[in-house]
Amino acid sequence: MSHLIDQTAAEIAADVRSGRQTAVSVAKCALSQVAARDPELNCFTGGLRDRALEMAEAVDETIRQGRDPGPLAGVPFAVKNLFDIEGVVTLAGSVIEAGKPEAAANSAMVSRMEAAGAVLLGALNMDEYAYGFTTENSHYGATRNPHDPARIAGGSSGGSAAAVAAGLAPLSLGSDTNGSIRVPAALCGVYGLKPTFGRLSRRGTTPFVHSLDHVGPFARTVRDLALVYDALQGHDPEDPVSSDRPVRPVSPDLDGGRTSLRVGLLGGWFKENASPEATCVTELVASRLQARRAELPGAKAARAAAFCLTGAEGGSLHLADLRARPGDFDPATRDRLIAGALQPAHVLAKAQRVRRWFLQQALDLFAEFDILLAPATPFPATPIGQATTQLGGEEVSVRANLGIYTQPISFIGLPVLTAPVIKKGALPMGVQMIAAPWREDLLMRAAAWLEAEGVVGARKPSSLPTAPARSQAAHHDH
């Protein structure tokens, strides 16, 4: 194996389970690639070499004993640095957290990944406390986009998206409050899933906005995304918002095609201010899915309300540190948290009313459509350090506006799959595929069909080498 990007997670797991390669050989390959490429990209804030090799050896031993190693046997993965890893300090992109004790236990999602046989490589860079869309962290540096290292990876799960795009890991986990999975997935050209609110456990993650926080996976293929999502599903009584709704496996349903799906292309807010690039990729997907025009009233108000709740809950959560050590915050984060904490109660009450009303508008629309389409971002990745850009003829903040199309959707907890649209010679762009609550299966089915048709798919960064033909003998490095 010359590079992990040349194998999917499903292929790695099949090879390890069958003995064509060992989990240890895969882990060594992944670790060597992280060592070689991460200094340029800055995806990782901490590696776990010894732990990864021990876990890989445990997977191989399980196979030698004739036991089932799990559906993700030997597959390397990494997690945004707000997931607790036993024995490691959870930084959450902050120097304030660096002085706190090591995590006493794994987060629920790390535990489920390892129970499925996956091998954890380390923790990934992010915007401080997940409040941002660029992963230009003043403490730990900017994560660079593998398709153009001079550009941002998006955020706040920028390290998670960039690591998968660069082939440093086939899978990663991130979080999404206002678009923090969907934005970097689009800008880095990989798949990202924000499940229905409450579908995946958040236990053992550093919170940002309790009423909006989601966790979810990144992958380079739809099948890999489905594989990891199925491994993560399930009720967790220790997360108060975790749903006990029965699990709906999505992996077996990927070949159902799109013929029976009713697809709507959102206009209005979701078309305003879109760059030509964003409009082009969204219209391309819409045409292939034979989408009809659709309107979701109130999206602009929902985005404004989401801003209010984000600032208020986030600011309240960090109020003690904002008072005691304001100089230790990332300047890009601090002022927004302070402003949020100062909002009057009547603004938050109105925001909650908007939330209930907007959710009903969406549910009414799903009586007519199975899937809704919208751009994932209004423009492609901007250069690192660029503070503003043109949007709708106005000079606006890059950080504040990358999530204009994602915020209204996470505000009401709908499941969204961001798919990278194939357009040769262009910077990566993605489309949001949105479904009614608990219908992630429809998103996977439509994305799998689009992938098979060559409309969407992860593109290898041009700076990566092309793999030679695989040799079985080369895979045994135990």
Q: Which residues contact 185 (CB under 8 A, 6 or more apart)?
A: 154, 161, 191, 192, 218, 376, 418, 420, 430
Is residue 80 part of the annotated active site? The answer reads yes
Q: How far apart are CA 430 and CA 187, in angstroms?
A: 7
* Cα dihedral across residues 159, 280, 447, 265: positive or negative: positive
Q: How far apart are CA 144 and CA 188, in angstroms?
A: 9
Q: What angle do CA 416, 118, 62 make, to 5 degrees?
A: 145
What's the distance, CA 20 to chain centroid? 30
Of the candidates 94, 107, 156, 410, the residue annotated as catalytic is 156
* Cα dihedral across residues 413, 227, 442, 289: positive or negative: positive
Residue 78: phi, psi to the nearest 5?
-145, 160
Q: How far apart are CA 206 and CA 224, in angstroms?
A: 26
Of the candidates 107, 180, 201, 410, the residue annotated as catalytic is 180
The HSE-up count of residue 170 (CA atoms within 13 Å, CB side) is: 30
Asked if 174 and 127 count as a contact pair (C-beta separation under 8 A), the reply is no
Coil, strand, or helix at residue 93? coil
Is residue 180 part of the annotated active site? The answer reads yes
Of the candidates 80, 194, 271, 460, the residue annotated as catalytic is 80
Q: How far apart are CA 374 and CA 364, in angstroms?
A: 17
Instruction: Please give the sequence-ordered ranges of beta strands (E in DSSP) within 143-262, or none if there are none.
Output: 144-145, 148-152, 171-176, 191-194, 214-219
What is the DSSP pairing of strand 171-176 with strand 388-391? unpaired
Q: Cα torsion at 175, 181, 185, 188 (round to 10°)?
A: -60
Positions marked active-site: 80, 156, 180
